[in-house]
Amino acid sequence: MENKPGIRNRIEAALANSRWAQLGEIVSVFLVAFVVITACKPIVADNVIAMQGVTWVANILMLLIVWFGLRLRGQGIDHFGLSFQRPSFPAVRRTLLRSVVVFMLATAAFLIGAIVMANIVGIPEGPDLDTYNYLSGNLPMLIIALLAVYIASSFGEEVIYRAFLINRISEIGLGGIASPKIAVILSAIIFGLAHYDWGISGFVQTTFMGLILGFAYLRMKRNLWVLILAHAYMDTILMVQMYFADAR
């Protein structure tokens, strides 16, 4: 029992001072998701709904590891700019207005990614969203999907790909004073790779979107609620769009 505080102190010191420990934490977050998704793919086979559920579960597991890392450091979620304290009305209004602006900029970046791909491949290619076909005309599934997406994607992805990655990569110290900007670029690329199942076009578009969200995170003084709300707007539009696609 007496060794536990010492072990925790050593882990905390390693996470604070060792680049290898910091890199290991980042890798562990994504390794768990990779293992879960890879292991479950043969089991769910072509069941797109089950596969979507596996992805959501993987996101939740990633969040738990991120939270565990905060605990080991003696930090709270507010370290990432996420507060659950009751805000004032002016603060709510300011956050909502900023989230709308970030939403529009991120959406524009997503569309610019489509234009870039169109110039590269010569045709207006869009992301492959066939995995969401189960939402077509299915209102109960739309409601369930929205609730899951708000938790696993709108909230989860902003905590993981913006707050966690940008802060942890910055702490590694790549590029000196340019570390936050390098962290935004790397986090955007990783965010794009996480959506590679949308195809190469989806990768490019989500990378562009990730860049805007990442720089907005820095610009908004790491107010993560702004990004979570902006992401939720985009997810809602995507889900509703898939609901009405070919609906009978």
Summarize pLDDT for 210-240 with one digit per residue, the tens. Answer: 999 999 999 998 999 999 999 999 999 989 9
Q: Domain of 69?
A: 3-244
8 Å CB contact between 114 and 124: yes
Q: Establish how many alpha carbons lie within 13 A of residue 137's alpha carbon, considering only the half-sphere containing its beta carbon.
A: 3
48 pLDDT higher than 50: yes
Average pLDDT over residues 152-162: 94
* Residue 129: closest CA among 210, 243, 6: 243
Q: Two tokens at 70?
A: 């905060």
The structural domain count of the chain equals 1
pTM reported for the whole predicted model: 0.88
* Residue 142: closest CA among 243, 46, 5: 243
Residue pointed to by tokens 């889900």: 239
